[in-house]
A and B are shown apart, each in its own frame.
Chain A
Amino acid sequence: MSLVTATLRRDLLLAARNPGEWLNPLMFFLMVAALFPLAVDPDPKFLSKIAGGVIWVAALLATLLSLDALYKTDVDDGTLEQWLASGESLYALALVKALVHWCISGLPLTLMAPLLGLMLHLPDSAYWALIVSLAVGTPVLSLLGAVGAALTAGVRSGGLLLTLLILPLYVPVLIFAASAVYHASIGMDYNGQIGFLGALLALAVCLTPFASAAALKLNLSR
């Protein structure tokens, strides 16, 4: 078994044995979204207008919350050194770690989103747009976030710092995704926005692992 599949298996197994890792962000997602009707306005008409944006902002914050731990244990217990010593490319590791992160954060968020849509009175026509935009957009969040996680892995209390670094980079994804959901909710075509999200995903898959790999080496040289 190659190192890449072994890491994939190990990380997924760890997540399965330690359900808090993926359940907590999911609960956070639910709670944040529930705060908006309480704080702003429970009127269904108003909610149906902001539902897509609220769900996307909540998903973005939930993703950030779970990123902090991505590389921390690997840096602390020496797994990262072993990776580098093995001669396997760090690019592959960075890609696998982002994939694992998406499986435990983006994927459950995508599956859970329709429930939130129901609670926030999302218009019927927007459900597919919401699911598709989350399915294409959250991997970009994981890939970009992994760069921040790699940069801050060695920093004490790096969680807040990570948020500061990564949030501005998330803006394009948020704009296109929220716009897709909004266009769908008023019965317009949203293929263009999904297309842009797909382009961002392709770009992120190609480029961000290089940045993650460079950032990971930084943790080793200390």
Chain B
Amino acid sequence: MWQWLKTLYHRLGSPKWFYDLTSRWIPWLIGFSVLGGVVGLVWGLAFAPADYQQGNSFRIIYIHVPAALISQSAYIMMAIAGAVFMIWRMKMAAWVARVIAPIGASFCLIALLTGAIWGQPTWGTWWVWDARLTSMLLLLFLFFGVMALQQAMETDEAGHKASAILALVGLVNIPIIKYSVEWWNTLHQPATLKLTEKPSMHPDMLYPLLIMIVTTYVFFALLVILRTRNEILWHERKRTWVKQLLEKRWNSAA
């Protein structure tokens, strides 16, 4: 097992290997995203029972919760990829970290916007200075900081390193920010899904949510893979395998 992981890790460092491997994955990922999205959304939006207090407005959780979860996972993944790059100088990791930042920021923005849309009818206001909302806003700022730093650096290499350091500093800070803000003010309902406890949701509401969460993770993986492939093609554009690949595409198109 360990040996297998090690080989996998070393192979992941090769852009060509990653590109070839993911070429086979992409149709499956697209298929799963579409299928899961259709099933989860139709079930959640049309067939799940309405909430006894919130009526139909609760249905936005089928987008809100997955987006919020993904944006936090994305930050952690970005920081870990940055650390892998800093420690083992693996170029692939730097590219992955770079492409995650805008994707994670987008999911963060989706979570904030859907939250505001839900808050209007439920709390009677678009925005409150509540702990969860504020920490998501700060997470968005952290993503923006990493993206801004990446762009400000003159060379790609310096940008990768600088944003990796910043992402790691941010990673240490995230729990501190989260708890300090929670301690400061809280109105958001406590987490419904906890790994350690039985969910307090009815299964008819829960299953579509779980489907949406899994689907959104797969969709996130798809986005990261697609953007990483672009990054690979751009950085390896002078290599023979990319030239051959493009020639083949060109010939089959013509």
Contacts and interface: CB of A to CB of B under 8 A. Distances in A.
B149 A147 contact: no
Interface residues of B, number: 29
A155 B86 CA distance: 20
A144 B170 CA distance: 11
A164 B148 CA distance: 8
Given A147-B169, A161-B148, A218-B161, A179 B184 contact: yes
A115 interface: no
Contacts of B141: 164, 167-168
B168 interface: yes
Interface in A153-187: 154-155, 158, 161, 164-165, 167-169, 171-172, 175-176, 179
Contacts of B180: 171-172, 175-176, 196
Contact of A158 (B152, B181, B184): B152
Nearest to B151: A161
A169 B175 CA distance: 11
Given A151-B166, A175-B180, A165 B173 contact: no
A211 B181 contact: no
Nearest to B172: A207
Nearest to A207: B172
Contacts of A165: 145, 148-149, 166
A34 interface: no
B138 A168 contact: yes
B176 A172 contact: yes
Contact of A168 (B142, B161, B168, B172): B142
Given A164-B144, A175-B181, A222-B158, A169 B165 contact: no
B172 A164 contact: no
Contacts of B148: 161, 164-165
Given A165-B166, A211-B165, A215-B162, A171 B153 contact: no
A172 B173 contact: yes
A171 B153 CA distance: 26
B155 interface: yes
A8 B155 CA distance: 32
A133 interface: no
Query: B-side binding surface: helix, strand, loop or mixed?
Result: helix
B20 interface: no
Contact of B138 (A155, A171, A179): A171
Classify chain A: how many residues form its interface, as a range: 20 to 34
A214 interface: yes
A221 to B, nearest CB: 7
A152 interface: yes
B152 A161 contact: yes
B169 A211 contact: yes
A200 interface: yes
A181 to B, nearest CB: 14
Interface in B116-164: 138, 141-142, 144-145, 148-149, 152-155, 157-158, 161-162
B177 interface: yes
Contacts of A215: 162, 165
Contacts of B168: 211
A179 B180 CA distance: 11
Contacts of A161: 148-149, 152
A215 B148 CA distance: 16
Contacts of B138: 168, 171
Contacts of A158: 152
A222 B155 contact: yes
A151 B149 contact: yes
Q: A-B pairs with the 9 shortest C-beta distances?
A: A172-B180, A168-B141, A165-B145, A175-B180, A168-B138, A155-B152, A172-B176, A175-B184, A151-B162
Interface of A: 144, 147, 151-152, 154-155, 158, 161, 164-165, 167-169, 171-172, 175-176, 179, 196, 200, 203, 207-208, 211, 214-215, 218, 221-222
Given A147-B166, A161-B148, A176-B180, 5 more contacts: A152-B152, A172-B181, A200-B176, A221-B157, A222-B158
